[in-house]
Structure 1
Amino acid sequence: MARVPAVATTSAVAAEAARRRTFAVISHPDAGKSTITEALALHAQVIGEAGAVHGKAGRRGVVSDWMAMEQQRGISITSAVLQFAYRDLVINLLDTPGHADFSEDTYRVLTAVDCAVMLLDAAKGLEPQTLKLFEVCRARRIPVITFINKWDRPGNEPLALLDEIEQRINLRPTPITWPVGIAGQFHGVVDRRTGDMTAFHRTPGGATAAIEERLDPAEAARRHGADWQRAVEELDLLTLTGADHDQDAFTAATTTPVLFGAAVANSGVRQLLDVLATHAPAPQARPDLTGRPRPVDAPFAGFVFKIQANMNKAHRDQVAFVRVCSGRFTRGMTVSHAPTGRPFATKYAQQMFGADRETIDEAYPGDVIGLVNATALRIGDTLYDDPPVTFPPLPSFAPEHFAVLRAADAGAFKRFRRGVEQLDAEGVVQVLRSDRRGDQAPVLAAVGPMQFEVATARLETEFGVTTRLEHLPYRATRRTDRGGEEALRGVTGAEVLVRARDGALLALFTDDWRMRAISDRHRGLTLDPLLATS
């Protein structure tokens, strides 16, 4: 077989990378994140009708919320990947948990994207979790597109929402569409680039895309009178203030294109999809651990940002989600595992669409591939084809809640241990161990208490193990060493445990006051903060 010239190969990889758009949707809980994820898939025509959170009105649930607990509660608990085609592009959409208790999962996802859609509730504006997630985007210089959702319900003035974005997060809003009608009386949007209006007519139940009608300014003025005139005056004000889209400023993460719509009615979503296709950046060279960029047309490299097991009853296996950063991935290729230097075979590679998946033969920068039963992989691991590369570590957070976990039935210990190891590998919770308690009573450490609920529910449904939790009083955590372990042995209000994942020694304290008092008493005690990496 003739060898393909290297120049032709790298050119093909660069061309394929240019076709990719990889982004995450971020928001505060209940802003409509899963709903808009579903609506984007609907407008790309990869699903026939949009599901509803809780499966409302007899409709199926949303494809990104595949876990039983997500469907019952109507919230996203774990991130999901949906890959689909739109126009001549390949879209990699990563849905993220909105609840603060699952921040660590969301932050990991943000390391694997090139752009983010920030979803705001028209009535609530910028909420606490949205602000936290935006700060991660700012730190990583991820460009952000803003979609102001729920315009079909009463809400704030559009100019007031723009002012809030600029004042609170110092990101200059540059609207691309503008609403006709106040929040709660939504007729459609004006495309600032053409001056025409798109009127939306909701379909019964909202399961299919809203019917769109294009109106020129004269017809829009005839039909919508004062609402149209108000929109025109606001648009003139935006023009006077120079709030126009600038692609360079957007990709530099100093401005944010803004669109308006109602995801539950599938209104304004096609416009968002078009803006993502046109303006969202394609994958670029990604810096390695030393800061040196690895070009997209370099040989294959990627990193694991998520591990998930038991996604459905037909596939009770473990999947490592790998973001492709450079080169062409081909199923079956043997690559190197950066942490060990050992060869790693990629025979079982799949493309994900929520819980559904199919075998994939190749992938390019920006794509997310699922490597099945890759039990040797851990979150943050780099895989590469020569030359060697290691990408920076993924965020790690100091837990604030702790509980001892025990199996209710001692006869189920093997399944209990296997389940706990799986939850630790996925990062659902951190698992800590101590000689005092032994393997039969590990300590679970979490950013938020809802992680405990997910852990115990999954142990019961996936491993058939009923468990009991005994909450511990600790609230402050520091990294220590063997000297610290000896110094804190038997000290009231403190305990040292070993993190199962990496062997790190963590000192736990009942509160910050107790930690300072003990530190003052034991001069030279090593107590280092657990800092998130970005």
Structure 2
Amino acid sequence: MKYEAEINKRKTFAIISHPDAGKTTLTEKLLLFGGAIQTAGAVKSNKIKKHATSDFMEIERQRGISVATSVMTFEYKNTLINLLDTPGHKDFAEDTYRTLTAVDSVILVIDSVNGVEAQTRRLMEVIAMRKTPVMVFINKMDRDGKNRYDLLEEIEAELKIQLHPMTWPINNGKDFKGVYDLTQKSLVLFTAGTKQTDDDDVVEISDLTSTMLDEKVGDKDAATLREDVELIDGVYGQLDKSEYLTGEKAPVFFGSAVNNFGVKELLDTFIQIAPTPRDRSTNTRNVSVQEDKMSGFVFKIHANLDPKHRDRIAFFRICSGRFERNKYYHHVRMDKDMRFSNPYTFLARSKDVVEDAYPGDIVGLFDTGNFKIGDTLTEGENFFYTGIPTFSPEIFKEVVNKDPMKTKQLEKGLMQLTDEGVAQLFTQHGGNKKIIGCVGELQFEVIQYRLLQEYGASVQFNTLPFYKACWMTSNDKKKLDDFTRFKMANVAEDKDGHLVYLAQSEWFLNTERNNNPDIEFHFTSEVHK
């Protein structure tokens, strides 16, 4: 209970969405409210020099998409908020899945024009599995989109979550006039081309029969709003906070992130009801967030955050106790003690050295190659935090070195980039053919670009005819050895030396499963199992 005040002050969450739903824009508006930045970056236009604060890498700035999770810390109304902005693009889904292991809640952004999209469904499955609390922000209300009732119905049906409206829109598109805050009983007015920055546009209307409502939005819209609010109050009533915290109900807000509209209502509710850091599971026991001894895990590694300095930073989530600068901690996998003289907190590309940090905080640890995703630091106890999976890739390519003089640089680059979790590296069993496995094509572009820019290694990728990588385990060592010998062309080792079967198709995989009942084939590999 030593650090209770610090723990209760913190909220750690991720913003997730389909690409182009406005996630990075919303991130910036939250940072503006927290006073963390003075001016928003131009996310959409690649011509403008002020780019999105949360987009780290050159390739992200060129293409206007987020390909790596970035971490930002800011304060708002005496609450310390750790915000993780995740890649929306499906090719980087694995990075997002891992990020979800490091947060206590999620804000899901949905585009009111396009509604629920494929990537959103996949993300919500991962969230539902972990019972993570979710808030929904329906964005772009100032654009002509779907009917508000249809949107809610679609979200509930597609994402299998129960929604609870907290604000309610008055029209959409060019007729959008604002939102009614159902909790505060106030009207927030929207004027096209202006940004909501203070409370000037908020009108308290505790009684909807008041003529002030008609004056502000017109008779027709006032009548519609009265009907809508009566219906919503009848169906939903008050939000039960415990249902939100167990992931059963998702509060919903409407707005326009680019106009900074509806964002304050979302943020104010978030700091009131979002969970503080929670207890976590390890391979030996449950770790309480209230424990005095420090422990935590690495969920992401990013190399060359600053191209001028060849730095590599491990993103470390603190789960219990107090993390202190220059104190020795036990690296469980390597069984050695380490200390960190310059641990960082982040505001996207700017970094500040911290003296200490508490559960819920994300700190950046300088790494010289000691860390892998899933590594745990403790004050001496030997356990691993669980639930940080590695997924089977879906696209496989052989790495062909175009410059033999740069073989060492290529080896180093491949090791570091795959340690980051950008992709998986397999080595053909009994040979040294290097195979990269990714979830999507765009990752190969990123790897090729970064190998050249950061390591001076020029490569080409040749597509291989594999469908899935399956990790193999068996209690019968001889059976596994025989299979490996007979199927050498299809067997590789991952970076940790675990055997992997590269199946050409679902038919081949099923055949091998039937022919080898003593061997188990797994689509995911829990780190360190």
Answer yes or no: is 1:65 the counterpart of 2:55. yes
Do the aligned partners of residues 421 and 491 (structure 1) sit closer, same or farther apart at CA in structure 2, a change above 3 Å counting? closer
Mapped pair 1:528 → 2:521: yes
Q: Is the CA contact (8 Å cut-off) linking 1:54 and 1:72 kept in structure 2? A: no
The CA distance in 2 between the partners of 1:505 and 1:194, in whole Å, is 58
Partner of residue 293 from structure 2, selected from 286, 291, 299: 299
Q: How does 1:242-391 map to 2 (within 5 A)?
A: 242-391=236-385
The correspondence for 2:217, drawn from 214, 224, 229, is 224
Match of 2:125 among 122, 135, 146: 135
- Give 1:422-501 correspondences, 5 Å limit: 422-434=416-428, 437-438=431-432, 441-480=433-472, 483-484=479-480, 486-487=482-483, 489=485, 495-500=490-495
Matching of residues 178-257 of structure 1 within 5 Å:
178-201=168-191, 209=197, 212-217=200-205, 218-225=211-218, 226-257=220-251
**Which whole-Å CA distance do the structure 2 matches of 1:322 and 1:491 have between them?**
39
Pairwise CA distance, 1:519:
4.8
Deviation of residue 229 (structure 1)?
A: 2.4
Aligned counterpart in structure 2 of residue 115 of structure 1, from 97, 105, 111: 105
Counterparts of 1:216 and 1:532 in 2: how far apart (Å)? 54
Shift of 1:223: 2.5
Cα 1:57–1:405 shift into 2, 3 Å: closer
Task: Give the distance between the partners of 2:396 and 2:264, measured in 1 at CA.
Answer: 44
Say which is worse superposed, 113-122 or 448-457, in terms of deviation: 448-457
Q: Is the 8 A contact 1:115 1:143 kept in 2?
A: yes
Counterpart in the other structure of 1:87? 77
2:28 aligns with one of 19, 38, 44? 38
Q: Secondary structure at the match of 1:406?
A: strand
For structure 2, the residue ranges without an aligned partner over 5 or more in a row are 206-210
Would you say the 8 A contact 2:289–2:359 is kept in 1? no
Q: 1:313–1:196: structure 2 CA closer, same or farther, 3 Å change rule?
A: same
Flag the 1:143–1:519 CA change in 2: closer, same or farther, 3 A.
closer
Q: CA RMSD in A?
A: 2.2
Query: CA shift at 1:25, angstroms?
Result: 0.6
Q: Deviations over 1:448-501 (max 9, x none)?
A: 222111111110111122111111011132223674464365659x5101112x
Task: Name stretches of at least 5 consecutive residues in structure 1 with no aligned partner.
Answer: 1-9
1:277-314 per-position Cα deviation (integer Å, ceiling 9, x unaligned): 11111112222224524233431111000000101224
Q: Structure 1 residues 228 and 395 mapped into 2: Cα distance closer, same or farther (>3 Å)?
A: farther
* Matched residue type, 2:202: R
| Counterpart-to-counterpart distance in 2, 1:316 and 1:128 | 37
**How high is the TM-score relative to the length of structure 1?**
0.91
Equivalent of residue 391 in structure 2, options 397, 411, 416: 397
Give 1:147's match in structure 2, choosing from 124, 127, 137. 137
User: What is the letter of the counterpart of residue 219 of structure 1?
Assistant: M
Is contact 2:471–2:525 with CA below 8 Å preserved after alignment? Answer: no
Once residues 15 and 365 of structure 2 are traced to their aligned partners in structure 1, the CA distance between those partners, rounded to angstroms, is 23
Once the 2 structures are TM-superposed, how far is the Cα of residue 378 of structure 1 from its aligned partner?
Answer: 1.2
d(CA) in 2 for partners of 1:418, 1:488 = 28
- Per the TM alignment, residue 151 of structure 1 is displaced from its structure 2 partner at its CA by 0.5
Change (3 A) 1:56 1:448: closer
CA shift for structure 1 position 58: 3.3
Give secondary structure in 1 for the equivalent of 2:524.
coil
Q: State how far apart, in whole Å, the 2-side matches of 1:405 and 1:47 are.
A: 41
CA contact (8 A) 2:295 2:321 kept: yes
Q: What's the TM-score, normalizing by structure 2?
A: 0.92
Measured against aligned partners, the alpha-carbon deviations of 1:48-81 in whole angstroms (never above 9, x if no partner) come to 1111214467361111112111112121111000
**Equivalence for 1:6:** none
